């Protein structure tokens, strides 16, 4: 059996992130936004996602193993990563392209 992986599984021309009611250019935002470009990823030689997200200010993470799984931005995000302590809060996410 042969398995072939698509090197670009998610195809998108443009990503729009809205945190308010109006469209704004990245340069005019009063909110914190971190963009890590594909060139920066290639130059960093990062072997793990953790290496990249450690560069993002105000982003903290936790996980049951050595890999990040639960994210918080300035304290907002997963309230707990323990099973049985209520429904998860998925208010923090990330998009990898």
Q: How many CB atoms lie within 10 A of CB 61?
A: 19
Domains in the chain: boundaries = 46-97
pTM, two decimals, is 0.48
Residue 81's pLDDT is: 54
- State the 10-residue block means of pLDDT for the chain, 97 residues long: 72 66 70 80 82 82 67 68 56 57
Residues 52 and 67 sit within 8 Å (Cβ to Cβ): no
Residue 19's pLDDT is: 61
**Six token digits for residue 61:** 């993470």
Residue 6's pLDDT is: 73
């Amino acid at each position: 059996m042969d398995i072939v992986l698509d090197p670009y599984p998610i195809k998108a021309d443009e990503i729009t992130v809205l945190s308010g009611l109006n469209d704004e250019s990245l340069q005019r935002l009063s909110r914190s936004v971190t963009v890590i470009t594909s060139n920066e990823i290639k130059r960093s030689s990062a072997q793990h996602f953790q290496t990249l997200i450690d560069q993002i200010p105000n982003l903290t993470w936790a996980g049951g193993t050595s890999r990040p799984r639960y994210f918080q931005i300035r304290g907002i995000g997963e309230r707990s990563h323990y099973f049985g302590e209520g429904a998860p809060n998925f208010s923090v996410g990330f998009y990898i392209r």
